[in-house]
Structure 1
Amino acid sequence: MVWLPLPCCCRGQVLSVAPLQAEPDTAQQGPAPGGLQEDGGVQQMGHKKVNFAPEKTQAMVVSRSPAAGPAVEGRLRFGGVPLPLQEAVKVLGVEVDRELRFDGHIKHIAKKASHRVSALRRVASFLDRGGKLLLYKAQIRPYLEYAALSWMSCAASHTRRLDSIQRRALRLVDAADPPYPPDSPAQFEPVSPLDSLEHRRDVAVLVVFHKAQVQGVPHLAGLRQPPRVATRSTRTVLTSGDAVEVPRSRASQHQRTFVGRVSRMWNIFTAAVPHIQEMNTQSVKLAANRWRLLKPTPLRLVIL
């Protein structure tokens, strides 16, 4: 169970992660469904009771202020047990640190992916180019992209580190295959170029935002943004009926977050691609891929 009293991007908030276990003989009395009450370490949800393990519960203060942690140290109790504050907690395989920089998470996935590239090198001589490329897509690239929309606000140096791992793997893919004799036509068969990791993240961002903003998927409601107030278009500001308000922030890290980046990309994308309201998920994915191919990498988005 994850408690997020306020969005994680807010400073000075507490993130609690607690494993839970349902009682086999639940009571038939309790508060109304949806209610949550504390009863000495047993939480009542609706008409069911669940046991929480305080010794397995983790708490973390999301803040960059050195004084934020000591201000709540020892004051957080769960079932009468004080909760020690952690510097980072892992949620669904993503390590979230108290400053939301994701340094530890990027280091971990880079190490995992690098080890798999080394394993690919050991078997590369037994595979043709297609086999090596397939192995990279199936066994290495997923490490570089898992939950990428949650940590996309990390420093540019971290994303460049992941890009270098992909380039390292592609050098193995493009290497000459020893089994082929010299000047063999198969030795010079072109390999389909792979899109950059940033390209794939940007396409995923636009597709997810289309689900939230246009399709109205309920569990993505928190990602929706208010529509932009209609104003006339200029040479620098493109206006479409699907444009959204861009969060005003001068912090570079906030501009790299999902909302900060997708709001800018979405306004440019919808101005270039008509009939966005009539598209399904697959159509948006194809349109976003074609649109992103026309843009440079890295893509710098100005504050409009």
Structure 2
Amino acid sequence: SCLLLTLYAPLLTRKTSRPSNPWFTRELKLKCKERDKLYKLAKKYRDQNLLARYRLIRKALKIQLNSAREDYLKTALLSNSPGSSVWSKLKHLGLTNSNSSSPLNFFDPLELNEFYANIVRRHPSCENEFLASLHLESTRQVECSFNWSEIDIVDVTKAVQLTLAKSKGKSPDGLDLRWLKDHLPQAMILGSNGRLRQLQEFDFPPVKINGVVIPYTDSAKCLGVYIDRSLSWNTHVSQVVRKVNSALHCLKVRKNIFTKELRKVLVTATILPLVDYCSAVLVDATAENDRKLQRALNASIVGFIFDLRRDVHISPYRKDLSWLSFKYRRMYFMTCLLYKLLSVGKPNYLRNLFVEEADVRRSDRLAAKKHTSFELPRFTTTYLEHSFLVTVIRVWEELPSDIVNSNSLEVFKNKVFGYFLQLDF
């Protein structure tokens, strides 16, 4: 068997090496060798003076290495204009994570298929009779037994929840086990803060679906939006701010090598989508939540793009970038959504909420350049007054007629963005 293994699967020793860094010059290599030589001498003779000298040289050399790497990356990025090619350039420089490699990146699919097919042909599978007689081929050396027991869906659910609570690993397909938690059924009691405080003393009966007990939860995630029991958006805003701070921390690691234009591109691609995602549903968010989101947006402008102090007034720099505040960004996305609803008419459940006023004659609307008027629903509570329907109708009625009657969505976006930008500043 050893001869066969040596013949068909010989044991080889290969030394892995990666391409040398262009910024790692010959001068730096010599300094690294001198540093290592000094450390060997200090370790050999146990000389504290040599060890102290080694530490000083190591510290100075580390600064030189970082400076050389940053200068090289900065020069490489300066020669590349911001655009679609900037991401391939960042990937080439090793500043972004590359996709996991696949065998199809190195081999042809037909060759792989033929290779595995030949393995099956050369080594045919065992017959059922042989597998059934395996237990007769050997004797049991240790007295042990293995028993099967019946389980139901309740046992499986408990095991999955216990695994999700403790495990931080990944399944064989690369999916984080914690992600499965958002796809398990959950029960939640919705109400105002006062009502929920009154219900804390009650012991609610368990919720069962097909005999499975569904646990109660204080918040749930649906399509990337966190919903809590009081519908206050506090949990969602906290999660968004946490993601923004995490992304901003990753960007600041290489902040010195990025130009101002490239920093703007990176923030636009990584920070703004986190803030803008489903911002239309946050129309009834509190002023405190709006301030939290605005501060997270300001941190990317002050601390990363312009590299300023935190107490600097942000408005002039935000105007230089032509960026809207979070309040007007939300209005921008709300009006764009309404324009698409009126143009396409989909989805029906949302389009049917906007009913045109019957008492406004068509001739009057034509005289007003077809400025559509919608019926405001009657409301007696602030919850409905701050709803998406009422708020977007009020904002829509204040838009100029030339913006409302734009010929296409792109024209509408440009006009309404300029309109809100003028109001913001």
Question: Fold conserved (TM > 0.5)?
Answer: yes
In structure 1, the gaps of 5 or more residues are 1-39, 41-54, 177-189, 233-237, 298-304
Q: Write the mapping of 1:124-273 to structure 2, written as runs, cut at 5 A.
A: 124-171=255-302, 172-175=304-307, 191-218=320-347, 221=350, 224-230=353-359, 241-249=371-379, 251-269=381-399, 272-273=400-401
- Aligned-pair CA distance for 1:112: 1.5
Selected match of 1:84 from 205, 212, 215:
215
Q: 1:217-255: per-residue Cα shift (whole Å, max 9, x none)?
A: 2356356312234369xxxxx997511122344644544
Structure in which a larger fraction of residues adopt helix: 2
Question: Alignment partner of 2:189: what SS?
Answer: strand
Which residue is 1:282 aligned to? 410
Equivalent residue letter for 1:215: V
* Partner Cα separation in structure 2 for residue 169 and residue 285 of structure 1: 24
* Partner Cα separation in structure 2 for residue 160 and residue 275 of structure 1: 29
Selected match of 1:57 from 174, 185, 195:
185
Which residue is 1:37 aligned to? none
Q: Is the 8 A contact 2:232 2:285 kept in 1?
A: yes
Equivalent residue letter for 1:198: K
- Aligned-pair CA distance for 1:91: 0.4
Q: Is the 8 A contact 2:332 2:416 kept in 1?
A: yes
Q: Is the 8 A contact 2:279 2:333 kept in 1?
A: no
Equivalent residue letter for 2:341: A
Range 162-171 or range 246-255, more displaced? 246-255
TM-score of the two chains, using structure 2 as the length reference? 0.47
Equivalent residue letter for 1:246: L
Question: Alignment partner of 1:166: what SS?
Answer: helix
TM-score of the two chains, using structure 1 as the length reference? 0.63
CA RMSD of aligned residues (A): 3.4
Question: Alignment partner of 1:195: what SS?
Answer: coil
Is 1:121 the counterpart of 2:249? The answer is no
Does 1 or 2 have the higher relative contact order (CA < 8 Å, sep 6+)?
1
- Aligned-pair CA distance for 1:110: 0.3
Equivalent residue letter for 2:393: S
Selected match of 2:243 from 86, 97, 112:
112
* Partner Cα separation in structure 1 for residue 378 and residue 185 of structure 2: 36
* Partner Cα separation in structure 1 for residue 369 and residue 205 of structure 2: 51
- Aligned-pair CA distance for 1:126: 0.9
- Aligned-pair CA distance for 1:69: 8.3
* Partner Cα separation in structure 2 for residue 170 and residue 112 of structure 1: 16
Equivalent residue letter for 2:326: L
Paired residues, number: 226
Equivalent residue letter for 2:277: Y
- Aligned-pair CA distance for 1:81: 2.6
Identity of aligned residues (%): 18
Change (3 A) 1:122 1:250: farther
Question: Alignment partner of 1:109: what SS?
Answer: helix
Structure in which a larger fraction of residues adopt strand: 1
